[in-house]
Amino acid sequence: MTYVMADIESDGPIPGDYSMVCFGAVIVEPGLDRTFYGQLKPISDKFIPEALAVSGFSRQDCLTFPDPKPVMEQFKQWLQTNSHGRLLFISDNNGFDWQFINWYFHHFLGENPFGFSSTNLGSLYKGMKKDTFTSFKHLRETKHTHHPVDDARGNAEALLKMKDMGLKISFK
């Protein structure tokens, strides 16, 4: 089983109408050395300037990014090369991140190598602590910068610490 921590930045709230600007992924394991980063050209003319601003890119920057299909093909290949067994998608906000990754995989490649489910890191921590008002974010070491690899790495650090705290999970 391979846990893949992911994070995305977009220029709007939903895939299809809006675009995934960039995304990052980290294989969850000690060292957190295996990462992927992709930038994607917009798929529509629609964008919300405030949403795009979070990524740090301008619309003009995004128009120079690679077409989404080859980026998703590269991500799929990276996943195949860097994983063993079942892939498990996990993120800080899987309701948001998952919808974009899932949509882009299905739209551009016809399948999603993660299958049909994802895990929410915050919910996992709340369950561990038996407290729906608690947050895992103090467990991050890497600063949350809105660069998706930084953010995925910080979240993966938190998951590794959760394992050290007693979460039954295997990264082998």
What residue segments make up the domains of the chain, in order of their start?
2-7+25-34+68-164
Q: What is the mean pLDDT of each run of 10 residues along the chain (172 residues)?
A: 97 98 97 98 98 97 98 98 95 97 98 96 97 97 97 98 95 77
Is 138 labeled as catalytic in the residue annotation? no
The catalytically annotated residue of 138, 144, 146, 147 is: 146
Q: Which residues pair with 119 in a beta bridge?
A: 90
Rounded CA gap, 153 and 161, in Å? 12
65-91 pLDDT tens trace: 999 999 999 999 999 999 999 999 999
Residue 60 amino acid letter: Q
Question: Checking DSSP bridges between strand 2-10 and strand 20-27, what pairing results, if any?
Answer: antiparallel
